[in-house]
Structure 1
């Protein structure tokens, strides 16, 4: 199979002209200061359906002939691909069935239904859901729409690369969140055709990084475990189509930690006022962890913003902890009137904001007349966090645990 051409990607851009948004390219001062060079964010989290997936799904469905359209389409997804296929099918007048895992979040289920798909919540994990969708396609004759491993999907995702070059012609590096590889392959195909000197770097979650071993072996490698907060890029094995493109066109694929993902998400939310999901901020995490790879100016693609509010609350706390701005301490006190008030006074003097406190007299480790106090604090960063612990220790308190 040959690589997708620039003409094919440009044709996809024409197909999407009245369908997909031309998402903004936003300059980020805070990220630019971090790496010492200009950084811009390609905000696909502001795309229709909340991610880039609409682009590839629409181009893939639009290419179907009338007979295949009449048979309907089927897809399997935990979220973004589901919504992209559902909306694309609705716009084209095609019946769609989307299989989602039983534990898919209610907001994603509801959004997919709102775009017109018949949603079936089946399968304990995505691999089971995928198998059920493929069985449905074989039984009914519906067209199975793969989330990434198809040339039409790559052409649609490649329109992100075209827009980046139009919005920032002098770009030196493009960082792209990478799971199955559809987005990074499409972006690389567009960018390398027009500006071969521009670096294109894929960014994976460290706990679901199938690309580095696959590229080292020269063929797609399957991971046995892909547990990561970045579920949108938790793909166990690259596709054959995407592997051919990534191995030929992408300059590097790196992996980032869970801590880096949560820090990047918090940074986007707090400093840039952009809501993104963990998979969506992988490129920002890569920029924070590996600025040495960048040829400026740099564009980091924010690939999606579909995050469950409950998960967002957990990730904010995780991100604050990773950034040194959240501290949980267990402090041992004498069980005397005023001891707790004295501790809280000291914490106030140290400018640590108390978020939560728990007072316990029940522990086998406690001597008679002692209590443990579990205190959750907001701090200003790693140095302030260390200062708080050091000052409490200096004041004679026993800090028995911290995290």
Structure 2
């Protein structure tokens, strides 16, 4: 059995991340996703004479349509894979639940997903179609329902964004990115509970320090690692509040068109990793996220979900703290939109406000 969720887990080390990367690579749950290199910035309405080279990491090409199986692979590494294995429960409104359900089906595990009653019907139906149990309840009751399942029915809780093993698994994206783009200077990606951005920040910082150690840097040379921007919706900014309050923050009223970036609280482990490894916080609004989603569909033929657009929206609408230079990579984290939404994106006309 894997260890129970610990909100005060130790900070990850490079050895932890290397072990997790090996687990992810051998899991059969993920694919190495491509990078669109040297994207013409004019295609997205950016200046032609930008001082950076724009690259898009297409994590939306993952098998389940998002990055989530990276963390799940490590969470499940210690579990038995047969039908008599443990009963697993999680809470999710979307991509983690989708990936959790797919993995439970593939490994014949007993799974239960608790979903907010506000979740779109097509998401509930898809997750249920994978053979796992689904129960819905108000968002404010999700954690207490999970706790009751663990205490009274023998379930084991897999946290959807803050398990230390999950963060280590998500760090595989950062290590993979460094193999594909070794000289990356800036990384932009969306942040909800913080698991992905925490893992990527840890991977880039620890790997950069390791490279300098191997080069026998002089005593006065400071380790240099890429700048990681964790981008949130203005109306669902638990990680920004956490940075401001110097502790994990809650925001029960969090709402956004990017539902995957609107958890009711920031992950405690994720916050500590983001803070320790020097990640920076940026905010965008829903209109900017929507405009970015439409530009990707119209101009690059990429259908991605709103949560995947926050990082690029920060670039498109000039939210960065300083002008970027060098190699800039935006991670497009997921593609799971309904067929109806995909058709609307492709049919959308130009928006003068963009």
Task: Give the structure-2-normalised TM-score.
Answer: 0.83
Partner of 1:301: 331
CA contact (8 A) 2:297 2:345 kept: no
| C-alpha distance 249-295 of structure 1, shift in aligned 2 (>3 A) | farther
Q: Does 1:50 align with 2:65?
A: yes
**Which of 155, 159, 181 is the equivalent residue of 2:172?**
159
Return the alpha-carbon distance in structure 1 between the equivalents of residues 243 and 154 of structure 2. Answer: 35
Instruction: Within 5 Å, give how 1:115-194 maps onto structure 2.
Output: 115-120=130-135, 122-123=136-137, 125-194=138-207
Return the alpha-carbon distance in structure 1 between the equivalents of residues 249 and 225 of structure 2. Answer: 29
Return the alpha-carbon distance in structure 2 between the equivalents of residues 272 and 96 of structure 1. Answer: 37
CA contact (8 A) 1:105 1:308 kept: no
CA contact (8 A) 1:4 1:155 kept: yes
Q: Secondary structure in 2 aligned to 1:34? A: coil
Q: Does 1:230 align with 2:245?
A: no
CA contact (8 A) 1:180 1:242 kept: yes
Q: Secondary structure in 1 aligned to 2:140? A: helix
Greater helix content: 1
Q: Give the CA deviation at 1:105.
A: 2.3
Return the alpha-carbon distance in structure 1 between the equivalents of residues 98 and 10 of structure 2. Answer: 29
Deviations 1:201-230 (A, max 9, x none): 100011111222211221112224212101
Q: Which has the larger radius of gyration?
A: 1
Deviations 1:365-400 (A, max 9, x none): xxxxxxxxxxxxxxxxx7xxxxxxxxxxxxxxxxxx
CA contact (8 A) 1:99 1:133 kept: yes
Range that drifts further, 31-40 or 157-166: 31-40
CA contact (8 A) 1:45 1:304 kept: yes
Deviations 1:32-58 (A, max 9, x none): 872512111111111111111111112
CA contact (8 A) 1:50 1:304 kept: yes
Q: Give the CA deviation at 1:309.
A: 3.5
Structure 2 runs not aligned, ≥5 long: 1-8, 209-223
Q: What do you get for the CA RMSD once the two structures are aligned?
A: 2.5
Deviations 1:99-123 (A, max 9, x none): 2233422332233234332222x11
Instruction: Within 5 Å, give how 1:367-386 maps onto structure 2.
Output: none
Return the alpha-carbon distance in structure 2 between the equivalents of residues 130 and 251 of structure 1. Answer: 27
Return the alpha-carbon distance in structure 1 between the equivalents of residues 107 and 141 of structure 2. Answer: 28
Task: Give the structure-1-normalised TM-score.
Answer: 0.74
| C-alpha distance 70-242 of structure 1, shift in aligned 2 (>3 A) | same
Partner of 1:8: 16
Q: Secondary structure in 1 aligned to 2:32? A: coil
**Which of 30, 36, 43 is the equivalent residue of 2:41?**
30
| C-alpha distance 313-165 of structure 1, shift in aligned 2 (>3 A) | same
**Which of 243, 248, 251 is the equivalent residue of 1:220?**
248
Partner of 1:20: 30
CA contact (8 A) 2:298 2:346 kept: no
CA contact (8 A) 2:79 2:86 kept: no
| C-alpha distance 191-147 of structure 1, shift in aligned 2 (>3 A) | same
Partner of 1:335: none
Structure 1 runs not aligned, ≥5 long: 326-381, 383-403
CA contact (8 A) 1:54 1:87 kept: no
Partner of 1:334: none
Return the alpha-carbon distance in structure 2 between the equivalents of residues 316 and 135 of structure 1. Answer: 44
Q: Give the CA deviation at 1:241.
A: 0.7
Partner of 1:276: 304
Return the alpha-carbon distance in structure 2 between the equivalents of residues 66 and 46 of structure 1. Answer: 25
Partner of 2:6: none
Residues matched between the structures, number: 322
Structure with greater contact order relative to length (CA < 8 Å, sep ≥ 6)? 2
Return the alpha-carbon distance in structure 2 between the equivalents of residues 58 and 3 of structure 1. Answer: 19
Return the alpha-carbon distance in structure 2 between the equivalents of residues 66 and 90 of structure 1. Answer: 10
